[in-house]
Structure 1
Amino acid sequence: MESFVITEGAGTCNYLIQRDRINEVRSTRTSWRFWEKRRLVVALLAFFGFFNVYALRVNLSVAVVAMTEPVEVELENGTIVYVPEFDWSSTTKGWVLSSFFYGYLVTQLPGGWLAAKIGGNRMFGIGIGATSLLTLFTPPLAHTSTSLLIAVRVVEGLFEGVTYPCIHAVWSRWAPSEERARLATFAFSGSYVGTVVSMPICSMLAHYTGWPGIFYVFGIVGLVWTTVWWLVVKESPEKDPHITAAELKYIQESRGSIAVDGSQIRHPWLAMLSSGPVWAIVMAHFSENWGFYTLLTFLPTFMQDVFKFQTSATGWLSAVPYLAMAVVLQVAGHMADWMLQMQLLSRTNIRKLFNCGAFLAQTIFMVAAAYATSIVGCVICLTIAVGLGGFAWSGFSVNHLDIAPPHASVLMGLSNTIATLPGIISPPLAGSIVTDKTAEQWRIVFFISSAIYLLGAVVYGVFCSAEKQPWVVEVDSDASFDTDGASVTTARGYDNKAMDHSSEM
């Protein structure tokens, strides 16, 4: 690394300006080398982290179809009968599928608080790693008793509940303000890619290896990811020994002052809980999750009940809407950041446009899906409805970072706590409605989701804000993290003198 000795005065300013321009050009020319930009490495690994989060979550949604399908059994007298391995009622199935969310609900706020204190990267890795390990024990516990199956799913939910709040603690340190939407939505899109990939793979595993193979394969994949994340991702750019001086300076200047020592952060609980913009985020998050969790949990069963699809087909068809969501998320995140950079609308209006526009469209297409008479028409309507949710995520999901960056992990914990309630309420509710497995009963389930989308659009449109709130408590960064261009000292304790001219943002 080549260094320069800089004297004070006008020459220093001119040099810094020229150096930054050179770095900007070089960064653009080498943008395909994402591994040289540590924030992109963090985003990529976070993407695969959320991939595992949802693969571990939806595996039971597909497995339960195979677990309750009639299979050939030969009795002692030689008679062949067809009976399900697990003879669960619709209500029992609903409780089994919703059990995960009881644990998931409990650790949202504690996870956000711990992430702010000890580091979002650590909590994110622990959450996914522990869930992966417990997934390996799911088949033997299920064979032992239904109660043990429910218990292990509750504990899995406890560990996975920290993941969404934790990632906002990571982005509060790693994401430049003008890249929040694209980095956050790219990471979140891993959830939907995980759903797209895991559903058909779960179907194939159930067909070729039996349903226990679903849990063994995804449990091992999750443990491999945990090892890589733990070794590579640091709490903040200041603690990453591989980050370039130019990227570190860019992140620090863009995100503003923030404490590297999380123990210094104090959360203004009363002000947060009485804030209109906070509750706008909460309502939007709740609304999006209601429709999403309903389909995530019951779409394979819906395909089987209404259109008589078998297990191998439900996994593939159920994955289509989430493929649309994964694609739209990428487009929406870049579009939101582009509109902000071009100053086409204010940050607040961009959030409202993306969120409320998506919810209104989802309301319409969920109703259309309810009246679809063919599998093709139904899948098209559900694909559009779920896919448009990607625009909503460019609204409410990054809004925490807009209004209160130092408290974003706790706010995400709050909103995701309320937004987890649909995962608890929706499956038993749908199970109690769909007792005869008719299209008319499933239609009621879709109507409820549409009404909640519409309510979310109204509340978010009225109360949303994307401006930093007056109750935000900022803590000055450690003075050793100097960003004046002459010296940038990282948390590892070494200096990058005079901003190496070959460094790239």
Structure 2
Amino acid sequence: MNEDNSVAEDMKRQAAMFYNTTERDRTKEKEPSQRLWFWQQRRYVVALLAFFGFFNVYALRVNLSVAVVAMTEPVETKLDNGTVVMLPEFDWSSQTKGLILSSFFYGYLVTQLPGGWLAAKIGGNRVFAIGIGATSLLTLLTPPLAYTSTALLIAVRVVEGLFEGATYPCIHAVWSRWAPAGERARLATFAFSGSYAGTVVSMPLCSLLAAYTGWPGIFYVFGILGLVWTMIWWLVVKESPEKDPLVSPAELKYIQESRGSLIEGNKIRHPWRAMLTSGPVWAIIVAHFSENWGFYTLLTFLPTFMKDVFHYETSQTGFLSAVPYLAMAIVLQVAGHLADWMLQRGCMSRTNLRKLFNCGAFLSQTVFMVLAAYATTATSCVAFLTVAVGLGGFAWAGFSVNHLDIAPPHASVLMGISNTIATLPGIVSPPLAGAIVTDNSAEQWRIVFFISSAIYLFGAIVYGILCSAEKQPWVLTPTPSAGHDNNALDYSSEM
């Protein structure tokens, strides 16, 4: 009897191995040829333009972080009596600078959820373009408004935040239509890495523009670049592959069979109570909040920190501050491809993979933020911060695509919810850091780093307990009689 059972078990294992191999081969056969140029595979064109879209999103956001250093540096000023003195162009206190730098996030917070809801209804491609285009136009108006009054500068930054607030949620509406289930992590993380590439390029470029053209040149250059991108995106990217006349039949079939049938915007009904009481949703929210706390703190105050503690000039702070984000842009590419590869190889379940990437990154970031707090040289400090920020790329391959795992039709709204909460660090951390760092000492800056470390640790614990990457039972699917079939979305749980 035992021998019979053993033979039966062996046959089952062999059958399972044969089935899995056949399924992998079948999936590979469906994929369009990889020998095609990238512009002949339209989902890659969308990803590339989304990359440059997020490049602009962050370039438009961080420009003030470098500009504010130049705006408040003492410069030679000739008084009415002919005396030449060194006075700052804008004599702002530490608290005022914190308010100006955080004002963007007051607007950014408001439009997260409406942006995700609107993207689900009318298409994420349109909302994405409008958000970046309007922010670019307002950026061109920033210098004259700043010269007029500090209140107007704060007001225009709030309005910029309102328009940019929709960009992150709406991109998930784009991926819910364009991304095959087996390519979610790599496409999403490639697009998101544009944020860090934008930071890498814009920080040193802002420093050069401030040095050679004056700080207003920072806003004029990036405002124009944003408007150029908006035109290209609006003309090229369609709401879905079904509406793109240039998509090949093979690619369209591959996306449709992996993604499943589309649900029209007016057919989507969001189960609000179930979403807001879901453990996996709160795992994403807490992880997003934790990652953003450390990121926004450094994004906003790293140039000032380098100047206060290590006495770097404005032209140097931009270059040094960009190094950690270069690491993040590179790691994001590696993490996204590695996550998809491990899923396709069946190394572990999707849920465990998301936990591994996210919690492993957070725990490592906790350690390296503490090490940066005790660094005694600029080189060691930048090295520790580079590792801390760079490892965040693995976290993004965990929580940032988790919305698409658990509820594909509601992913843009879930991103709106999580990014709303994750925007709070942008509002709270700059004024908090401004209140803590009153005499520009290394000891006070150390407290700022300790707070970030503690929040990373909290995020790792919560995500490790509550995370799931399986489609949730509360996901609403139209009945077959309504002419929609969403069953193919279950493909994600099989990958």
Pair in the same fold by TM > 0.5: yes
Query: C-alpha distance in 1, partners of 2:203/2:28?
Result: 47
Match of 1:241 among 223, 237, 245: 245
3-state SS of the aligned residue for 1:29?
A: coil
Distance 1:474 1:156 in 2: 36
CA contact (8 A) 1:258 1:476 kept: no
Q: Do 2:261 and 2:484's aligned partners in 1 also have CA atoms closer than 8 Å?
A: no
Query: Which residue number corresponds to residue 11 of structure 2?
Result: none
Give the 5 Å matches for 1:243-322: 243-259=247-263, 261-322=264-325
1:174 CA drift (Å): 0.5
Letter of the 1:425 counterpart:
V
Matched, 1:109 2:116: no
Structure 1 residue aligned with 2:461: 458
The alignment partner of 1:83 has SS state of strand
Q: 1:62 aligns to what?
A: 66
Cα contact 1:355–1:391 (8 A) shared by 2: yes
Decide whether the 8 Å contact of 1:282 with 1:415 is kept in 2: yes
CA 1:21–1:459: 2 relative to 1, 3 Å: closer
Identify unmatched segments of 5+ residues in structure 1. 1-17, 485-505
Out of 76, 84, 89, the position equivalent to 2:88 is 84
Contact 1:325 1:386 in 2 (8 A): yes
Q: Which residue identity lines up with residue 336 of structure 1 in the other structure?
A: A
Aligned CA-pair RMSD: 2.0
Can you list the C-alpha shifts for 1:171-208, whole angstroms capped at 9, x where unaligned?
A: 00100011000000000000000000000000000000
Residue 402, structure 1, aligned to residue 405, structure 2: yes
Closer, same or farther: CA 23–284 of 1 in aligned 2, 3 Å:
closer
Comparing both structures, which one devotes a greater share of its residues to helix?
2
Measure, in 2, the Cα distance between the counterparts of 1:275 and 1:268.
11
Contact 2:184–2:401 (CA<8 Å) still a contact in 1? yes
Identity of aligned pairs, percent?
80
Aligned partner of 1:147 in structure 2 is 151
Residue identity in the other structure for 2:403: H
CA distance in 2, matches of 1:461, 1:479: 39
Indicate the larger mover: 340-349 or 74-83. 74-83
Tell me, what secondary structure is at the counterpart of 1:28? coil
Alpha-carbon spacing, 1:480–1:93, altered in 2? closer, same or farther (3 Å):
closer
> Which AA in structure 1 matches 2:33?
S
Shift of 1:476: 6.9
Structure 2 distance, partners of 1:227, 1:463, is 42
2:331 pairs with 328, 331, 348, which one?
A: 328
- In the alignment, does 2:180 pair up with 1:188? no
Q: Contact 1:355 / 1:395 at 8 angstroms: preserved in 2? A: yes
Contact 2:262 2:484 in 1 (8 A): no
Name the SS for the 1:395 alignment partner: helix
Indicate if the aligned counterparts of 1:281 and 1:460 stay in contact, CA closer than 8 A: yes
The separation in 1 between residues aligned to 2:140 and 2:34, in whole angstroms, is 44
1:125-136 aligned at under 5 Å gives the runs: 125-136=129-140
Shift, 1:79, TM fit = 1.6
In the other structure, the counterpart of 2:449 is 446
- Secondary structure of the equivalent of 2:76? strand
**Match of 2:76, as an amino acid?**
E
Whether the 8 Å CA contact 1:95–1:428 is kept in 2: the answer is yes
Per-residue Cα deviation, 1:49-108 (whole angstroms, up to 9, x for no partner): 000000000000000000000000112222210000000000000000000000000000
In structure 1, the residue matched to 2:492 is none
1:321–1:383 contact (8 Å) kept in structure 2: yes
The aligned length equals 464
Structure 2 residue aligned with 1:503: none
Q: Which residue of 2 aligns with 1:45?
A: 49
Q: TM-score, normalised by structure 1?
A: 0.89
User: Could you list the runs of 4 or more consecutive aligned residues of structure 1 that deviate by over 4 angstroms after TM superposition?
Assistant: 18-24, 476-481
Could you tell me which of 463, 470, 473 is aligned with 2:473? Answer: 470
Per-residue CA distance 1:393-427 (angstroms, 9 max, x = gap): 00000000000000000000000000000000000
Give the direction of change, closer, same or farther, for the CA distance of 1:27–1:145 in structure 2 (3 Å limit).
Answer: same
Structure 2: gaps of 5 or more residues: 1-24, 489-495
Q: 1:148-167: CA deviations, max 9, x gaps?
A: 00000000000000000000
CA distance in structure 2 between the partners assigned to 1:129 and 1:385 by the alignment: 32
Call closer, same or farther: CA 1:370–1:174 in 2, change over 3 Å.
Answer: same
**Secondary structure, counterpart of 2:77 in structure 1:** strand
The alignment status of 1:75 with 2:79, answered yes or no, reads: yes
**Alpha-carbon offset, residue 480 of structure 1:** 10
TM-score by length of 2: 0.91
Q: CA deviation at 1:246?
A: 1.1
Contact 1:258–1:475 at 8 Å: present in 2 too? no
